[in-house]
Amino acid sequence: MDQETPNARAFEFAGNWREFAPIAFTNLLLTIVTLGIYTFWARTRERRYLWSHTRFIDDRLEWTGTGLELFIGYVVAILLFFVPLALLQFAIQALAIRGQDGAAALLFVVLYVAILYMVGLAIYRAMRYRLSRTYWHGIRGGSDDQGFGYAVSHLWKTIVGSMALGLLVPWAMVNLWNERWNRMSFGSYQFESGARVTGAVIGRYLLYYLVPILLFVGIAVGAYFFGPALSGSAQQMQVSLIIIGVLLYIGFFVVLGLIAVTFYAAYFREVVGNLSLGGLEFEFGARTKDWLILFVVNVLLVVGTLGIGTIFIGYRNWAFFVRHMQAYGMLDLDEFNQSTTREPKQGEGLLDAFDVGAF
Amino acid sequence: MSALSEPSVRVWHYDGASGIRRDPMMVLAGDGFVLVEPDREDGPYAFADLIAQGIVNGHPRFGLAKRTGWSMTLTEAAPEEIAARLPGARRYGGVIDRIGLWPAVGAFTAVSALAVLGLMTMPSVVARMIPRSVEARLGSLMVGDFGERACEDPAGAAALQALATRMQMQDGVDLRVVDVPMVNAVTLPGGHVVLFSGLLRQASSPDEVAGVLAHELGHVENRDVLESLVRQLGLSVVLGGLDGNVGGYTNALLSASYSRGAEARADGFAIDALTRAQISPRPTALFFQRLSKSEIKVKGADALLGYLASHPMSSERERRFAASAGKAATAPALDAAQWQALKGICGAGGGTWKRSRLGF
């Protein structure tokens, strides 16, 4: 059986929502009757389905994570991080109530820094966990790095990124992406990521940054010229003002959301496009329009089903991701041996607890 | 080498060490099976160690216990002798697969109902098991001395003491006024009752303050605060597993419904205390009437808001206090001079902030 499949995409998603629906609905049912504890097993079932319906080159992916390890990871995260955080919060309140504002403020800063550090650690660890449970050709990914150094980097780059009025955010995002992936491996091959802040990325970010200001000026000018043209009774005036206000409010977020999507599309194309593994180069083909359709349909799906559609969101996002992933080049299978990295024992507990995404 | 006359089936195989795919024959060998290639033979393996991984691309795939990465995919239909010994697919997870989906749903529902019941009743049991001394230590840890915000004008403090005596406040309850511009009062663990200066400024008579104080003393008597702390802790641990908002909403709903019960009990205690002290409950009713005007009023949504609120609706509480007014003679909770002193307990600058505050 040959490894080459000419004229076919390297990635293919062969799932189908009718096949997935029984999994999604029974997951929902079991999660409800177990007061949420089944979530971890539900997520495992969902991933097993999605991974086993994803073809890469000549074989399907395999998810070997278990619900139990996700559950243990969650419990560990609660005990190690959230109990101390709650105590710290308690201490802040106790200090503030005693009028020790300075000490309270200091402790608040410490708390904030600690949380930011742990968010970085959580993102890194979740990625490492997911790679270590993803098998292809019987080979898994992983990392020997525990992520403490990455978390420090995440901490200071996030802080620096938000300085200069947030203008350095794209730099921080791209940099951290490289740092994360350069520490990861799959089998005997190391991932290499050399993404840079390109003109397209920074340009769209600047657009995102400037549009609120332009909109605000535009509205002020509009109000100045067209305000007097509005006439009628006081009540009519009030009604039309409310309508205009609501429209502007919605419009603001729609426009801002649109530009945020254009930025994210450019960012994701850039970072995935500079990722390589062994002799393979990756590429992500989704344009702004594709992302937009994904988001809009996701929202309609959730709203239109009064929230029940949420159970299909993970499926849709994965399908979107796989359908737009591309890989070129060759992977030398003779050199492709099992990963020697340490397998993490627990799941992505910290990440669950912080409620942030891994990619 | 095993005789190929044994039942066999062609499989794809990864050994979990190298990424190269092999195409051996799976051949029955005694109790287990071996994987046979022209130049090598792997095994024997036990059927009991096989883990069904489901149907991948139309073919059943199996892993091996304790050998992650090892897999075997049947590329054709297996002969009956082999097929009968292959493990069945796992679907929902260990226990559920053994007892079936619907029995499992029933069992989980029953256990969850018991757990919720436990969460509703256990906190009061646990709270009563915590010794008073531990509660007192926890309370003083939370309260501290309020630093510069504590209101300690001597004449005001004397008036406050007079009010406490009139309300037959127990020994060991620590009653204080703190300079915070909120129309509110709180009870903290260990019998610390704190009146905010905003309440004293808003109140139009000492009887109103007496009513609010009596309500807080009801919380002290029932040890409500400790119970709600224990409950909050239990709920957040148990419901933490639910994804994001669902857990939060359930938590809020459960604790609010409990808290309304506790508030209603504290109101009952307050009405009794006012009657015993021969203080009219009407001013307290008027106080709630004023409060209810400032609450969000949406026609038809009243009932819903009332259900979600942690306190009963002010209008409901107003009616209850007003209805309790009897024909017995009553006297003001404090005389005019004492009332003025109490209002001035925070000094001349009372009600304004002495220093910048830190918001959380």
Residue A241 lies in a domain: no
CA-to-CA distance for B7 and B27, rounded, in angstroms? Answer: 6
Residue whose structure tokens are 């910290």: A350
- Clarify whether residues B194 and B315 are in a common domain: yes
CA-to-CA distance for B116 and B98, rounded, in angstroms? Answer: 26
Residue A294 lies in a domain: no
How does DSSP assign A107-169, residue by residue? HHHHHHHHHHHHHHHHHHHHHHHHHHTEEETTEEEE-S--SHHHHHHHHHHHHHHHTGGGTTH
| Rounded to 5°, angle at Cα B153 from B149 and B155 | 155
pLDDT, tens only, A217-232: 887 887 777 766 666 6
| Amino acid (1-letter code) at residue A328 | Y
Tens of pLDDT along chain A (359 residues) come to 334 444 578 899 998 889 999 999 999 988 888 888 888 888 989 999 999 999 998 888 999 888 888 888 888 887 777 777 777 877 777 777 676 778 888 888 888 888 888 888 888 888 988 998 899 998 999 888 888 899 999 999 988 888 777 788 889 999 999 999 999 999 889 999 998 888 888 888 888 878 878 877 887 887 777 766 666 667 777 777 788 888 878 877 788 888 888 889 999 999 999 999 988 999 998 998 999 999 999 999 999 888 888 889 999 999 999 999 999 988 888 888 888 777 777 666 666 555 444 44
Query: Across chain A, what does the average pLDDT equal?
Result: 84
Mutate to test the interface with B, among A25, A26, A35 (most CBs of B within 10 A): A35
Which stretch of DSSP H or E encloses residue A71?
A: helix A67-77
B-contacting residues in A 132-171 (Cβ below 8 Å): 135-140
Residue A351 lies in a domain: yes
- Clarify whether residues B85 and B136 are in a common domain: no
B-contacting residues in A 300-339 (Cβ below 8 Å): 333-334, 336-338
Residue B2 lies in a domain: no
Residue A201 lies in a domain: no
A5 near A57, Cβ under 8 Å? yes
Of the candidates B129, B150, B177, which is a domain's last residue?
B129
Q: Which residues of B11-38 are buried (b: 16+ CB within 10 A; e: fewer)?
A: bbbbbbebbbbeebbbbbbeeebbbbee
Q: Hey, is A244 helix, strand or coil?
A: helix
Residue A122: what pLDDT? Answer: 86
A204 near A259, Cβ under 8 Å? yes
Residue B246: what pLDDT? Answer: 52
CA-to-CA distance for A65 and A47, rounded, in angstroms? Answer: 9
Please indicate if any CB of chain B lies within 8 Å of the CB of A238: no
pLDDT, tens only, A84-101: 777 787 777 777 767 677
How would you classify the pairing of strands B174-178 and B192-196? parallel
Provide the sign of the torsion angle of the four alpha carbons A200, A205, A210, A212, taken in this order. positive
Q: Do the Cβ atoms of B92 and A137 come within 8 Å?
A: no
Residue B117 lies in a domain: yes
Q: Which residues of B83-122 are buried (b: 16+ CB within 10 A; e: fewer)?
A: eeebeeeeebbeebeeeeeeebbeebeeebeebeeebeee
- Clarify whether residues B260 and B290 are in a common domain: yes
Q: Hey, is B220 helix, strand or coil?
A: helix
Write the residue in A33, A138, A337 that is nearest to B71 by C-beta. Answer: A138
Residue B358 lies in a domain: no
CA-to-CA distance for A237 and A241, rounded, in angstroms? Answer: 6
- Clarify whether residues B197 and B269 are in a common domain: yes
B179 near B151, Cβ under 8 Å? yes
Q: Tell me the shortest Cα–Cα distance from B277 to chain A, in angstroms.
A: 33
Chain B partners within 8 Å of A187 (Cβ): 19
Count other Cβ atoms within 10 Å, centred on residue A283.
Answer: 15
Which stretch of DSSP H or E encloses residue B223?
A: none
- Clarify whether residues B174 and B41 are in a common domain: no
How many domains does chain B fold into? 3
**Chain B residue with Cα closest to A86:** B233
Residue B357 lies in a domain: no
Write the residue in B92, B111, B242 that is nearest to A30 by C-beta. Answer: B92
- Clarify whether residues B283 and B188 are in a common domain: yes
Residue B197 lies in a domain: yes
- Clarify whether residues B46 and B107 are in a common domain: no
Write the residue in B61, B101, B360 that is nearest to A26 by C-beta. Answer: B101
Residue A92: what pLDDT? Answer: 79
Q: Do the Cβ atoms of B112 and A60 come within 8 Å?
A: no
Q: Do the Cβ atoms of A96 and B246 come within 8 Å?
A: no
CA-to-CA distance for B1 and B11, rounded, in angstroms? Answer: 18
CA-to-CA distance for A184 and B210, rounded, in angstroms? Answer: 66
pLDDT, tens only, A94-148: 777 676 778 888 888 888 888 888 888 888 888 988 998 899 998 999 888 888 8
Q: Hey, is B283 helix, strand or coil?
A: helix
Q: Two tokens at A243?
A: 């309508």
Residue A4: what pLDDT? Answer: 41
Q: Do the Cβ atoms of A337 and B21 come within 8 Å?
A: no
Tens of pLDDT along chain B (360 residues) come to 444 577 888 888 998 888 888 889 888 888 888 888 888 888 788 888 888 887 887 888 888 888 888 889 888 888 887 888 888 777 776 777 777 788 888 888 888 888 878 777 777 777 778 887 888 787 777 776 666 678 888 888 899 999 998 888 888 888 888 887 777 788 888 888 888 888 888 888 888 889 889 988 888 888 888 887 777 777 666 655 555 455 555 566 566 666 777 888 888 898 999 888 888 888 888 887 777 665 444 334 444 444 444 566 677 888 888 888 877 778 888 888 899 888 888 876 544 444 333 333
- Clarify whether residues B76 and B199 are in a common domain: no
**Chain B residue with Cα closest to A60:** B56
Residue B73 lies in a domain: yes
- Clarify whether residues B34 and B111 are in a common domain: no
Q: Is the preceding omega at residue B44 within 30 degrees of 0, hence cis? A: yes
The residue count for chain A: 359
ipTM > 0.85 for the complex: no
What is the number of H-type helices and E-type strands within chain A? 12, 11
Structural domain containing residue A184: 69-194+340-359
Residue A31 lies in a domain: no
CA-to-CA distance for B250 and B112, rounded, in angstroms? Answer: 14
CA distances (Å), origin B215, targets A339, B128, B272: 66, 20, 10
- Clarify whether residues B125 and B146 are in a common domain: no
- Clarify whether residues B72 and B192 are in a common domain: no
Residue B348 lies in a domain: no
Provide the sign of the torsion angle of the four alpha carbons A341, A345, A350, A352, taken in this order. positive
Phi and psi at residue B178, in whole multiples of 5°?
Answer: -125, 140
Please indicate if any CB of chain B lies within 8 Å of the CB of A288: no
How many domains does chain A fold into? 1
CA distances (Å), origin A179, targets A116, A154, A358, B166: 17, 9, 14, 69
Residue whose structure tokens are 């406050």: B160
Write the residue in B57, B141, B358 that is nearest to A105 by C-beta. Answer: B358
Structural domain containing residue B310: 131-343
Residue A96 lies in a domain: yes
Residue A99 lies in a domain: yes
Q: Residue B42 maps to which CATH number?
A: 2.30.29
